Amino acid sequence: MKDLVKIRTALISVFHKENLDRILELLARFDVRLISTGGTKSYIEEKAYSVESIENLTDYPSILGGRVKTLHPKIFGGILARRQKESDLKQLKEYNINEIDLVIVDLYPFEETLASGADDQTVIEKIDIGGISLIRAGAKNFNDVLIVSGRHQYEELIALLEKGKGVSCLADRKKFATEAFHVSSHYDAAIFNYFNSEDEVSALKISENKGRVLRYGENPHQKGYFFGDLDSVFEKLHGKEISYNNLLDIDAAVNLISDFNETTFAILKHNNACGLASRPKLVYAWKDALAGDPVSAFGGVLITNQAIDKETATEINKIFFEAILAPAYTQAALEILKQKKNRIILILKRIRLPEKIYRSALNGILMQEADMKTDREADMKTVTKKAPDVAEITDMEFANILVKHTKSNAIVLAKNKQLFASGVGQTSRVDALQQAIQKAKHFNFDLNGAVMASDAFFPFADSVEIAEKEGIRTVIQPGGSIRDQESIDYCDQHQMTMVFTGTRHFKH
C-alpha cells in the first residue's frame, strides 16, 4: 500500500461544469493527462486544454443516446487495478490499459429533476449509471485512486492539489472515498424511494446530506445531532444556537399552526400548546393565547401564521421566551424583539410537511403516516338529541385541532376560539379532564358554555358527567367505545350536545 501517489492520469466526467476551470489549470500545471467524453470533453477543449476522448481510448463510441460511454474494461481496469499486485499490472500491460489516478464525477441531478415535477421518463433518464459506477470503482480502490464524487468537493480538491503539487496521500484518498460512498448510497436511496413510493417493498431507506452537531441532546450529558435541511423550513434572523429541545418544540409548533387558516397565535411548551387563540387582529390573538397559561408561557416557543407588527411585538416583548416563528416581521417589530440577544427569531417558510413519521423503538425504527386528518363540520355526526349551533361547531373544530396536537391522553377545553386549558399526557382520560378543569379555574376561566374535545373515546360516562357539572355543554370525541350509549344517555338527560368524528387522534 503506497501512501503517496503521483497523479498522472485523470478521468473527468461531470454534469455541472461550473468551477472546473481552476482544477483544469492545476492539472495542466502538474502535467496530468486528461481523459473525458461528451459535453465535459467539449468544455475542456473550449478552455484550450489538451484532452483525450474516452471513445478513442476504448475504440468504442458512445451509444444508446449517451447511456453507455464509460462502461468499458479499459476505463474500469485503469481505475480498479491494484498497483501493488503484480498480476494486475501484468494484465494492464497485456490489454494496453492505462492506470487512472484521479476520477472526477458529478452525477446526473436525479433529485433535482424529481423535485421539479418532471414526468417519469425524464426522471428515469436522470438515473446515472456510468457516473455511479465510476464513483464506486474509484472509492473501492482508494489505495491507489483519488475519487471526487461531486462539485461540492472541488474546493477541497484544489487545496489538495496545490498543497501536494499533484500528489495525493492515502489519508486524503480514504477521506474522499468515504464521501464517495456517502454520495452513492444517498443517490441510490433517492432512486429506491422514488420507485418504492407505494411501499411495495417492505424496506426503509433514509438518507440526509445535511447534518449539524447540536449543543447537546435533551439533557447536557447527551450528545445531539440534527440531520436535514433546516434552511428550507425557516430563516434564522437572530438569537442563540437552536437546541435539540427547541427543534422538538418548533416541529410541534409548525405542525400545529399549519392546521389553522384564521389569524392565530400559539404558545408551546414541551411540544404541547399551553396557549392558543384565533382572532381578527394579531395582537388580540397574542393576548388571548397568553391568557390561557401565562405561567407556562415562560420560556416557551411562540408561533403565528401572520406577520408580526410593532404593536404585537411590544406585547410579546414583555415576557421571556425561547423562540418565535412567523412568516414575516415589520422592521419596527424586529427592532423590539432583537433587544434580547439570545432570543431566537425565525422566519417560517412555506413548506410541505412530511407525510411519514419515524422514531426509534427497541432495536429498530417505527414508521407511520403523519396524522393529516383535520376534522371539520362534515366529519361530525350528532349523536345526541340536541344538535350543535354554528358557534358550537366552530369551537368544536377549534378544540379538536388542538387535541389532535396534544400528547395523549388529552382533553382540551375551549370557548370562542380560545384555549382555556388542556389535560396533557395523563394515564386516564378522567385525570386529563380534571387537570384541564383545575387549570382553567386557576386562570379564572368560566367554563359555562365551553367545548370539551377528547383525542379518543370515553370508556365510561364519568367524563361527560364531570364536564357537565362544570358547565360544559358541548362535547366532541371520536366515539367507538362499547359503552358509548351511556355517555350519549347522560348528555341527553342533561341537554348536552355531543358529536362523534369517527377519527381517533392519539399522540405519544
- Please state, in angstroms and as integers, the Cα–Cα distance from residue 45 to each residue in 82, 130, 146, following that order: 31, 22, 23
Which residue numbers are catalytic? 140, 270
Cell 377519527 sits at which residue?
503
- Please state, in angstroms and as integers, the Cα–Cα distance from residue 261 to each residue in 42, 204, 379, 415, following that order: 53, 34, 18, 18
Instruction: Please say whether the beta carbons of 334 and 326 come within 8 A.
Output: no
Give the CA radius of gyration of the chain.
31
Cell readout for 492 is: 341527553
Buried b (16+ CB within 10 A) or exposed e, 137-162: bbbebbbbbbbbbbbebbeebeebbe
Neighbours of 223 (CB within 10 A): 10
State residue 313 phi and psi, 5-degree precision: -60, -35
Pairing between strand 411-415 and 364-369?
unpaired
Instruction: Please say whether the beta carbons of 273 and 404 come within 8 A.
Output: no
What CA–CA distance (Å, rounded) separates 121 from 124?
A: 5
Alpha helix (H) residue ranges in 168-323: 170-195, 244-257, 282-291, 310-316
Closest CA to 333 of 322, 349, 345, 341: 345
